[in-house]
Copies of this chain bind each other. A is one copy, B any other.
Amino acid sequence: MYNEKMIKLGKERSDIRELFEYAVERKKIVGSENVFDFSLGNPGVPAPPSVAAETERLLREMPAEALHGYSSAPGIYEVRAAVADYIRSQFGAPMDPALVYMTCGASASLTIVLNAVLNAGDEVVVPAPFFPEYRVFIEQAGGKLVIAPTDENFRLDATLLAPYINARTRAVLINSPNNPSGVVYTEGEIAALSQLLREKSAGRETPILLLADEPYRELTYGAKVPYVMRHYEHSLVLYSFSKSLSLAGERIGYIAVSPKCHGARELFSAVCGAGRALGYVCAPVLFQRVVAKCLGQSSDVERYRQNRDLLYGALTEYGYRCTVPEGAFYLFVRSPEPDTRAFCRRAREHELLLVPSDSFGVRGYVRISYCVPHSVIERSLPAFKALMEEYR
């Protein structure tokens, strides 16, 4: 028959995607204004105006055959150079355009890097909670996901992570600002993790890699996001413009390999090889050019902050328990009953679409994506209140 593993993956879908599809259908029945869809991290704040301005300029000024033609496999050189310049000037980390690979978004950044660095059976340690598709991507690349705990507030704690590192550990994969917890790891936390990785790498032929998945870097409410390459030499940054520039559907991002990485050139060859094998050469070119002019910009974070403040304030008032997110656009809320899926089903009866935390690697929570229009949050509050009253 066809590939059973793929059939299974295709049928089960992720909790998030399933809710997204459910929402589409449900809205047809009860009206889109009556469904409070907090399932997907689809940016609700528009791209900054510079995105449209640059897109229109390119369409106007470049001949179509040059604008839309193939780029070199790892991307347009000038774009890679702009990314490298930005990393150097903004973060004070060394970077070489020859070590930047433009990708078709965050998923591509992850699958390419994982296929490039993993050999069969290699382990990737991931602090929980984490983006559920990490498991799919790691396993597809022949690796094994190893879940490490964080502290009770989901903060990175090197001493809690240490026991999960062994001789098969090829990489640690972190995501800060974190989806789904909203935690931003501090300089101290990253420094401690780096120290641990240095110790654990001693005597190994190839050091353990630190992979930083950073689609939410620019979306913080005051917290500073440390740049991993400044703390640990064997680092790769996996970036996407999906959230920062509200371009989730355009699939554009990059991989940056630290020049200080053990065998950086060899590692970059593996990135090129994995890109080739998976069919990921030449990321979408129009948006390669657009993002090169919008580096470091972001959509209006204030609007996410307003959403966060309204939702966090109301939910804690109603009796929900959660910590205030420092970045990204998710609220991670403790389920009032132990069975989170049962809680989510009950929420659904109030037309509230929430994602259970089980597939994020922790139990007992739900994720609320508040990257929606402010009015959706306003209108949803009575439903959240009524839902909690069922638990009194």
**Chain A residues in the interface with B (C-beta under 8 A):** 1-11, 13-14, 17, 20-21, 24, 40, 42-47, 51-52, 55-56, 59, 63-65, 67-73, 77, 104-105, 107-108, 110-111, 115-119, 133, 136-137, 140, 205-206, 246-251, 263, 266-287
Q: Would you call the interface of chain A mostly helix, strand, loop, or mixed?
A: helix
A63 touches B46 (CB 8 A): yes
Contact present for B286 and A1 (CB under 8 Å): no
Q: Are B115's CB and A273's CB within 8 A?
A: no
Find out whether the CB atom of A284 lies under 8 angstroms from the CB atom of B250. yes
Residues on the B chain within 8 Å of A284, using CB: 104, 249-251, 284, 287
Could you tell me if B1 and A263 are in contact, using CB atoms closer than 8 angstroms? yes
Q: Is the CB of A263 within 8 A of B44?
A: no
Please give the count of copies of this chain that the complex contains: 2
Partner of A56, one of B14, B56, B65, B282: B56
- Residues of B with C-beta under 8 A to A52: 59, 64
Query: Can you pick out 26 interface pairs between chain A and chain B where the beta carbons lie within 8 Å of each other?
Result: A1-B263, A2-B263, A3-B119, A6-B277, A7-B273, A9-B274, A9-B277, A10-B116, A10-B273, A10-B276, A11-B269, A14-B276, A17-B73, A40-B70, A46-B64, A51-B64, A51-B68, A67-B249, A68-B247, A68-B250, A69-B248, A107-B281, A137-B279, A140-B278, A251-B284, A278-B278
Contact A270 B69 (CB under 8 A): no
A285→B249 CA distance, assembly (Å): 5
Contact between B108 and A279, CB atoms less than 8 A apart: yes
- Is there an interface contact between B251 and A10, defined as CB atoms closer than 8 Å? no
- Complex CA gap A42/B72 in Å reads 11
* A246–B10 CA distance with the chains assembled, in angstroms: 32
Whether A47 lies near B64 (C-beta < 8 A) is: yes
Residues on B with beta carbons closer than 8 Å to the beta carbon of A283: 251
